[in-house]
Amino acid sequence: MLNTYSTTVNWKILKQVVATMALCLGVFSYGQQDAQYTQYMYNTISVNPAYAGSRGHISIGALHRSQWVGLDGAPTTQTFNAHSPIGYRGVGLGLSIVNDKIGPTAETNFDVDFSYTVWTSKEGRLSFGLKASANLLDIRFSELNQYTTDPTLQQDIDNRLSPNIGAGVYYRTNKFYVGLSVPRFLETTHFQETNLSTAKEQMNLYLITGYVWDLNDSVKFKPALLTKVVEGAPLQVDVSVNFMFNDKFILGAAYRWDAAFSGMAGFNVSNKFLIGIAYDKETTDLGNTAFNDGSFEVIFRYDFITSKNNLKSPRFF
């Protein structure tokens, strides 16, 4: 989606002009991006539909991200998801709602996820997933401080609806996981005037993987990787390490290649309830500005565990 673009601008100009330039560069480009998350390891269903139902019970999550705090018109993202296995063996269903806003531009995605899982060994499970989504795009050009009479900026876009489909595959054991997915296949052009495309969807290819080591009886160590490839945008590589202490406290750090360093912390209130927070510090020129206080993220996840056999200890993924 729009909030993952890095643009080269003169940061000495007024905040409003900066926000407007960032918006226009993102809106009128061909490399539109999906929403960006630091705590992607707890929000897998947003990028891979094959994850639906993989926790073995009803699981719900909510996430809020404020990016580039202090910058006028900076991106904010809210995500809600719920998924669960259903009565048919190996079948999982999920629902996600993602709201993303930058300046006068807002997008909302409604996703329905379907997965089917087969056992490949005593511990290994291979899942195949499909995603059906609907995108609502809203752009208020009238709210911009315009310094041009460009006719393409005179007409607002009101709740422009476009459907899409995606797919993914996800393999997991008790200690390891790897997934490959394309959440949106259709390269939809939301608006076009005089051969100028606005907010055109691009396919985003995701590779995720991670492994959990038991360092001792009380400490677990999990490195994880997310790689995103999309035409027209730089390769995104997120590397993270997390430590879980006594199945309760989680501390970690992450690096987004050529973009940001992050710190993360989490707390398992119980086997059912997780709270996580993250803070990003940009390593780009944008991070060195006086009016950018970094990016903040908070996530909540609740698992409806009905049997003690469902989950012996909190899971890392």
DSSP states of 68-101 as a string? STTSTT--EEEEEEEEEE-SSTTEEEEEEEEEEE
Residue 88: predicted pLDDT = 75
Asked whether residue 31 is domain-assigned, the answer is no
Asked whether residue 310 is domain-assigned, the answer is no
Write out the residue range of the structural domain in which residue 208 sits. 36-304
Nearest to 235 by CA among 211, 259, 212: 259
Asked whether residue 99 is domain-assigned, the answer is yes
CATH number of the domain residue 197 falls in: 2.40.160.60
Q: From the centroid of its chain, how far is CA 2?
A: 12
Asked whether residue 64 is domain-assigned, the answer is yes
How many domains, in total, are found in the chain? Answer: 1
Reading the chain (317 residues) residue by residue, the pLDDT tens digits are: 434 333 333 333 334 433 433 344 344 334 346 788 999 999 999 999 999 999 999 999 999 999 988 888 889 999 999 999 997 789 999 999 999 998 888 899 999 999 999 999 999 999 999 999 999 988 876 666 655 555 555 566 777 889 999 999 999 999 999 999 999 999 876 555 544 445 567 789 999 999 999 999 999 999 999 999 988 788 899 999 999 999 999 999 999 998 899 999 999 999 899 999 999 998 877 766 666 788 999 999 999 987 665 555 677 88
The answer to whether the beta carbons of residues 261 and 281 sit under 8 Å apart is yes
The span from the CA of 10 to the CA of 18, in Å, is 8
State both tokens at 235: 């390769």
The answer to whether the beta carbons of residues 191 and 212 sit under 8 Å apart is no
Residue 264: predicted pLDDT = 98
Asked whether residue 314 is domain-assigned, the answer is no
Residue 250: predicted pLDDT = 97
Three-class secondary structure assignment of 97-159 = EEEEEECCEEEEEEEEEEEEEEECCCCCEEEEEEEEEEEEEEECHHHCCCCCCCHHHCCCEEE
Asked whether residue 88 is domain-assigned, the answer is yes
Residue 22: predicted pLDDT = 39
Helices (H) and strands (E) in the chain, counts: 1, 17
The answer to whether the beta carbons of residues 127 and 117 sit under 8 Å apart is yes
The span from the CA of 179 to the CA of 239, in Å, is 15
Residue 8: predicted pLDDT = 34
Print burial letters for 39-54: b (CB count within 10 Å at least 16), e (below 16).
Answer: bbbbbbbbbbbbbbbb
Asked whether residue 12 is domain-assigned, the answer is no
pTM (2 d.p.): 0.83
Asked whether residue 228 is domain-assigned, the answer is yes
Residue 310: predicted pLDDT = 53
Residue 152: predicted pLDDT = 55
